Amino acid sequence: MTGVETPRFLVDAMLGRLARWLRLLGYDTVFEAAPARPDEAMAEQAQREGRVLVTRDRRIPPRNGLTLVVLRETGGEAQLIETLKA
The rounded mean pLDDT for the chain is 91
In a domain, 3, yes or no: no
36 part of a folded domain: yes
- Kindly tell me if the per-residue pLDDT of 55 is higher than 90: yes
Residue 46 lies in a domain: yes
Give the structural domain span for 56. Answer: 11-85
Q: What pLDDT, on the 0 to 100 scale, is given for residue 3? A: 62
The answer on pLDDT for 2 being more than 80 is no
DSSP codes, the chain: ---PPPP-EEE-GGGHHHHHHHHHTT--EEE---TTS-HHHHHHHHHHHT-EEEES-TTSPP-TT-EEEE----SHHHHHHHHHH-
pTM for this predicted structure: 0.89
Could you give the CA distance from residue 13 to residue 28 in angstroms, rounded to a whole number?
A: 16
